[in-house]
Amino acid sequence: MNLRQLGRSGLNVSEIGLGCMGMSFSYADIPPPDTMIPVLRGAVEAGVTFFDTAEVYGPYTNEHLLGEALAPFKGQVTIATKFGFRLLPEGEAAPLGATGLGLDSRPETIRHAVEGSLRRLRVEKIDLLYQHRVDPTVPIEDVAGAVGELIAAGKVIRWGLSEAGAGTIRRAHAVTPLSALQSEYSIWSRQVEREILPLLDELGIGLVAYSPLGKGFLTGAVSADTPIGAGDFRAVLPRFTPEARAKNRALVDLLADLGRSRGATPAQMALAWVMAQRPWIVPIPGSTKLSRIEENLGAAAIKLSAQDLTALTKAAAAIEIEGARYPEAIEKTTGL
């Protein structure tokens, strides 16, 4: 697995990372943690060096899982985690939705979150720390300043934002330079292209693309008839109604048709498309199955020419996507 540098940050990670949320959070049928340890270690052996988690995933349990699973690879992998939600103390928390107790990026909350993440991840420094969502009640300059103090104290190496708008990115970067922005980006969620990607290029900030496989839809494994179980957050997403899934299947069919001559799956074509957009974009598809992770990593071998990329982008743009990516209330928590 080759490496990519996130912007001009100096941080080099595997060109495809692993989003670990689904191992502990948001989907139905959460697997037992002990079954995920060999999956995470197998991902490292397959070439993944970049892993994504957050304190709210569980809450807390996902960081504990990565801390245990990746302890043998200390110094060989990069772990990104996130702060930004008000949570019950560890040990008292029941599973919560991502906005369970509200946003909270007060400096004292950030410092407390970092101490907990360091302990759960079993590391001395956090490789990459994101603000999970912009908190409108706390000036971003105060957030950047608090993280800057943690960097100066040697507890955090680099930091970034998630789903932030252009103005917020500029203001934060002016106080404590950002290494990465994490935002949803895929061939069916292209909201960062008009304003955000040019800004990141200007400032030398990398993009970490979450949900590059459309929360599983672009793999082709989800049809209009696929049951979405209780506790699966996709049940509230407009793009995942049965009607929307039936209509949006046209995009999966396009990826499958174009991939067939290359011996590539729809998932691999979707990831190759994301990676071809900029050399400083790193997708972090998630999975709980090592076979799927290995399939995703196969996308790194697919090199789309400029002609291929133009043809795929044009064909995808001609397909009208049914449904918003989030309900309105959740979309308002993003800056896009």
How confident is the model over 151-199, as pLDDT tens digits? 999 999 999 999 999 999 999 999 999 999 999 999 999 999 999 999 9
| Residues facing residue 18 across a β-bridge | 51
**Amino acid sitting at position 267:** A
Show the tokens assigned to 115. Answer: 């101490």
Looking at residue 164, its pLDDT comes to: 98
Amino acid identity for residue 73 in this structure: F
Residue 55's pLDDT is what? 96
**Strand-pair partners of 208:** 182, 282
Q: What is the pLDDT of residue 96?
A: 46
| Per-residue pLDDT tens over the stretch 115-149 | 999 999 999 999 999 999 999 999 999 999 999 99
Cβ atoms of residues 285 and 16 within 8 Å: yes
Report the distance separating Cα 168 and Cα 284, nearest Å.
23
Beta bridge partners of 283: 209
Asked if the bond preceding 285 is cis, omega within 30° of 0, the reply is: no
Rg (C-alpha) for the chain, rounded Å, is 19
Give me 118's structure tokens: 């360091």
Give the pair of three-digit tokens for residue 117. Answer: 């993440």
Q: Is the pLDDT of residue 97 over 60?
A: no
Are 161 and 181 in contact by the 8 Å Cβ rule? The answer is: yes
- What does the block give as tokens for 259? 């991939």
**DSSP tag of 298:** G
Distance CA 132, CA 82 (A): 5
- In angstroms, the CA 266 to CA 155 distance is 40
Per-residue pLDDT tens digits for 242-251: 999 999 999 9
The percent of residues above 90 in pLDDT, for the chain, comes to 91
Give the CA distances from residue 87 to residues 26, 139, 162, 163, in Å, rounded to whole numbers and listed in that order: 16, 20, 18, 20
The CA distance from 183 to 312, in Å, is 22
> Strands 12-14, 3-5: parallel, antiparallel or unpaired by DSSP?
antiparallel
Q: Cα(312)–Cα(35) distance, rounded to whole angstroms?
A: 37
3-state secondary structure 88-140: CCCCCCCCCCCCCCCECCCHHHHHHHHHHHHHHHCCCCEEEEEECCCCCCCCH
pLDDT digits (tens, 9 = 90+) for 212-252: 999 999 999 999 999 998 889 999 999 999 999 999 999 99
Angle made by CA atoms 282, 288, 289, in degrees to the nearest 5: 95
Architecture in CATH of 3-331: Alpha-Beta Barrel (3.20)
Give the chain's end-to-end CA distance (angstroms, integer).
Answer: 32
User: How many other CB atoms are there within 10 angstroms of residue 275's CB atom?
Assistant: 22
Among candidate residues 27, 57, 185, 326, the one labeled active-site is: 57
Q: What average pLDDT does the structure give for the chain?
A: 95
Task: Collapse the DSSP code of 302 into the 3-class scheme (helix H, G, I; strand E, B; otherwise coil) and give the result.
Answer: coil
- Mean pLDDT calculated for residue range 94-108: 72
Q: What are phi and psi of 206, to 5 degrees?
A: -80, 160
What distance in Å separates the CA atoms of residue 299 and residue 221, rounded to the nearest whole number?
A: 17
Active-site residue, 57 included? yes
Tell me the pLDDT band of 94, cut-offs 50, 70 and 90.
low
Q: Domains of the chain: which residue ranges?
A: 3-331
